[in-house]
């Protein structure tokens, strides 16, 4: 895959002197769904605003489809559809008029067939003549997506697409996003919901305090999540591990009172049975044991705490 967005050494300092982005480097691949995770105030909206040409960078460069977002603003911007966090539409206009008007803003000639396809893809076709004010919250969100797609962009930004939305509606939205990806659109979404990133994304990026602290394929991340930890609370303290256990990757902690063994739940063998038998043979006894599994949430919380 080739990159459709390339962000290099991007920094943003607001007028107040606040540094909202610090040397961000990020490439978005054509056709992928990329989820940008981060706590409140991490810089997600600032990053999206700069890529979409709404805010200016203090330093660095952004290319969209090979076009510089500042030097070739109109060309670069026409490749992007943006669905902002806040829903703002003219309450008394019809769905059809609202979506068609958005296309006009990009200077594109009328194309009723495209607007019809977008409304059908988003299950809004039977609402095309309804006034926005009469729609449910979920439908209004879909109108916002239809507006963003009206000028046939190659890239769609969804800023917190399911914030404050109930579970049913969130799942419906995921379906919509998948359909859009299948139609060839590259999607970048920001979210607070780890579950959403886990469910939707091909790659996940984590931003904290203006810095990208992780970018990883979801599959690789999930593999890391397949690890489990067995903790054995020993009866007596152990000075060192006996030679007979040296082929296990064990950690002796708590001044020799706890033994830790990490294993792969997806591996062919976990090694637990033989470890327990070798421990018995070595005369090492324990009072208790527990197992824990790390989740994307743990990784996220850890990253955000330590960075």
Ligand X SMILES: Nc1ncnc2c1ncn2[C@@H]1O[C@H](COP(=O)(O)OP(=O)(O)OP(=O)(O)O)[C@@H](O)[C@H]1O
Q: Report the interface residues with ligand X, using CB under 6 A.
A: 14, 16, 18, 20, 38, 40-46
In the bound state with ligand X, the residue whose beta carbon lies nearer, of 40 and 246, is 40
Q: Distance between CA 64 and CA 150 in Å, rounded?
A: 19
Q: What is the number of alpha carbons within 13 Å of residue 240 lying toward its C-beta? A: 4
Q: In angstroms, give the least distance from the CB of 192 to ligand X.
A: 7
Residues in CB range of 258: below 8 A, 6 or more apart: 231, 232, 233, 234, 252
Nearer to ligand X, 67 or 211 (CB): 211
Residue 75 vs 192, nearer CB to ligand X: 192
C-beta of 40 vs 273, nearer to ligand X:
40
Query: 62: helix, coil or strand?
Result: strand
Tell me the closest approach of the beta carbon of residue 105 to ligand X, in angstroms: 24
CB 298, min distance to ligand X, A: 20
Q: How far is the CB of 190 from ligand X (least distance, A)?
A: 7
Task: Give, for 205, the enclosing helix (H) or strand (E).
Answer: strand 203-208
- DSSP 8-state code for residue 307: -
Judged by CB, which is closer to ligand X: 26, or 132?
Answer: 26
User: In the block, which residue shows the tokens 């917190």?
Assistant: 160
Residue 21 vs 155, nearer CB to ligand X: 21
Report the SS3 class of residue 214.
strand
Shortest distance, CB of residue 159 to ligand X, whole angstroms? 8
The secondary structure element, H or E, covering residue 213 is strand 211-217
| Separation CA 249–CA 242 (nearest Å) | 13
45 or 162: whose CB is closer to ligand X?
45
Q: 121: how many CB neighbours lie within 10 A of its CB?
A: 18
Q: For the CB of residue 55, give the shortest distance to ligand X in the complex, in Å.
A: 8
CB of residue 20 vs ligand X: minimum separation in angstroms? 4
Q: Are strands 59-64 and 3-13 parallel, antiparallel or unpaired?
A: antiparallel
Rounded-to-integer distance, Cα 159 and Cα 165, Å: 13
DSSP 17: S
For residue 254, the tally of other CB atoms under 10 A from its CB is: 12
């Amino acid at each position: 895959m080739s990159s459709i967005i390339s962000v290099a050494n991007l920094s943003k300092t607001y007028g107040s002197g606040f540094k909202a982005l610090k040397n961000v480097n990020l490439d978005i691949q054509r056709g992928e769904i990329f989820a940008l995770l981060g706590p409140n105030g991490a810089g997600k909206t600032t990053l999206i605003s700069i890529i979409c040409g709404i805010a200016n960078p203090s330093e660095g460069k952004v290319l969209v489809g090979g076009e510089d977002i500042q030097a070739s603003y109109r060309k670069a911007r026409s490749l992007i559809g943006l669905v902002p966090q806040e829903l703002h539409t003219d309450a008394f206009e019809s769905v059809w008029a609202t979506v068609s008007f958005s296309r006009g803003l990009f200077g594109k000639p009328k194309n009723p067939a495209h607007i019809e396809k977008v409304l059908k893809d988003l299950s809004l076709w039977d609402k095309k003549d309804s006034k926005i004010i009469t729609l449910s919250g979920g439908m209004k969100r879909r109108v916002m997506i239809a507006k963003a797609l009206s000028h046939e962009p190659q890239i769609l930004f969804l800023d917190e697409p399911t914030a404050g939305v109930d579970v049913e509606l969130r799942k419906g939205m995921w379906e919509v996003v998948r359909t859009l990806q299948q139609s060839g659109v590259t999607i970048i979404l920001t979210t607070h919901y780890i579950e959403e990133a886990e469910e939707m994304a091909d790659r996940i990026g984590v931003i904290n305090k203006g810095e990208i602290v992780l970018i990883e394929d979801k599959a690789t991340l999930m593999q890391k999540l397949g690890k489990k930890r067995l903790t054995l609370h020993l009866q007596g303290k152990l000075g060192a591990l006996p030679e007979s256990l040296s082929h296990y990757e064990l950690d002796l902690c708590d001044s020799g009172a706890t033994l830790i063994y990490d294993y792969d739940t997806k591996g062919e063998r976990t090694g637990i049975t033989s470890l327990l038998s070798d421990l018995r043979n070595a005369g090492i006894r324990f009072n208790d044991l527990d197992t824990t599994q790390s989740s994307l949430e743990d990784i996220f919380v850890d990253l955000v705490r330590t960075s």
